Amino acid sequence: MSKTIIITGGAGFIGSHVVRLFVTKYPSYKIVNLDALTYAGNLENLRDIEQSPNYYFEKVNILDADSLNEVFQTHQPDGVIHLAAESHVDRSILSPLDFVYTNVIGTVNLLNAAKQFWKNDFNGKRFYHVSTDEVYGALGETGFFTETTKYDPHSPYSASKASSDHFVRAYHDTYDLPVVISNCSNNYGPNHFPEKLIPLFINNIIQQKPLPVYGDGLYTRDWLFVKDHATAIDLVFHKGKNGDTYNIGGFNEWKNIDLVKLLCQLMDKKLGRQPGESEKLITYIQDRPGHDRRYAIDATKINKELGWYPSVTFEEGLAQTIDWYFENQEWLKHVTSGAYKQYYERQYSK
C-alpha cells in the first residue's frame, strides 16, 4: 500500500535512521523529511539515500505554521512521525526557552497542521509523537518506568517533552486526532551528535582530551542502539493502537562510570594504545543541576503486543558505533567546527 509520511527532524540523529529505514524498506511510500537544519540537523547523515525517488526534503522550522500548512498541501501526507526537537539536557539548562518554542509550540503547530489538513476526517491517518523516558523523572536503585508511571520531569528538556506529550494526548481526547506516542530510553549509535555522553567521549578519547564525568559518575542510563529504536518506531507507526503509549528500552542499564571505562578499553584496543591509557583522561567535574539518578524502561508492552525486542547486544552496538566514528572522521570534523567549539567552551570551562 502506498502512503505519504512526513518525518520531522529527519536530519538529526534518530530521525536520519528512521528516514533511511522507511525510504529503503517501503519503496512505495513517499517520505518527506521536514527539518530546520539546526546545529543538530545534518544532511550528510542521509547522503546514501538522498537520491532515492521516494525521498523528499523540506527545510522548514516547525515554529513556522504557514510553511507547515504549505508542506501539508504540497505533499498530502497520511501520516506524521514527529522527531524534531531540541534534545540536549545541558543546552536546556543554558536556554530553556528554545526548548519551549520548538518542543512545545512547534509540536502544537504540527498538531494543528495535521488536524486542519485532515479536516477532521481521520480515517487512515496517524500522528506519531516520538518522546523520551525522561518525562517520568528519576528512579532509585530499583523499579522501572511503565506506560502508566506518573510524569515527573526535572530538566527544562524533559519538562518541554512532557508538555508536548500532554498536548498530543489532549488532541486525541479533544479532537479525536489519531495519535500514538512512544517514550524511549537513551539511544546511541552512528550519527550521534558529539554533545551527548557516548559520541562526546569517543571524540575526546581520539583527541586525548579530558573525559568530563558529572558528579560521582554513578548515574544510570538504559542504552538502546539507534537502529533498534528505528525498528520499534516502524512497528509502533504501523501496528500501535490509536491513542496508546509504548515504552521502548534497551534492557541494558549502565552506570556512567562503568560505561566510560568500557568505552576507554574498547578505544585503547582500536587506537593501539596501552591498556588503561584512555582511563587516565577521566575527570570528575561539577554535577549537572537536577541530574536524574537512574532511568530504566519496562518494555514489556511493546515486546508482548508488537513482538519488538532489541536485535543487538550492547557490545555489538558499541563496537559498530566506534567503527562508524573511525570511518567518519570527516563528519566528526564538520560537526565539531564553528559553533560547537563555543558550546563546548561554555559547558566545560566552568
Span of 209-217, 237-245, 246-254, 311-319 interacting with ligand TYD by CB under 6 A: 209-217
- Residue 186 sits in the site that holds ligand TYD (CB under 6 A): yes
Q: Could you tell me which of 60, 26, 13, 24 has the C-alpha nearest to residue 238?
A: 26
* CA gyration radius, the chain: 20
φ, ψ (nearest 5 deg) of residue 110? -70, -40
- Residue 112 sits in the site that holds ligand NAD (CB under 6 A): no
- Residue 314 sits in the site that holds ligand TYD (CB under 6 A): no
CB-nearest residue to ligand NAD: 12
- Residue 84 sits in the site that holds ligand NAD (CB under 6 A): yes
Among the listed residues 58, 78, 133, 195, the single catalytic one is: 133
Q: To the nearest 10°, the Cα dihedral for 153, 257, 187, 235?
A: -90
Span of 13-21, 111-119, 148-156, 233-241 interacting with ligand NAD by CB under 6 A: 13-21
- Residue 159 sits in the site that holds ligand TYD (CB under 6 A): no
What is the size of the binding site for ligand NAD (CB under 6 A)? 30
Q: How far is CA 256 from CA 109, 201, 223, 278, in A?
A: 37, 11, 11, 15
134: annotated active-site residue: yes
Q: Residue 270, exposed/middle/buried by CB under 10 A (0-12, 13-18, 19+)?
A: middle
Whole-number minimum distance, CB 87 to ligand NAD, in Å? Answer: 4
Among the listed residues 157, 188, 219, 246, the single catalytic one is: 157
DSSP secondary structure of 176-216: ---EEEEEE-EEESTT--TTSHHHHHHHHHHTT--EEEETT
Residue with cell 554533545: 195
- The CA distance from 114 to 108, in Å, is 10
Span of 163-171, 192-200, 263-271, 326-334 interacting with ligand TYD by CB under 6 A: 192-200
Among the listed residues 86, 134, 195, 222, the single catalytic one is: 134
Residues that bind ligand TYD (CB under 6 A): 89, 186, 196-197, 200, 212-214, 219, 221, 256, 288
Residues recognised as catalytic? 133-134, 157
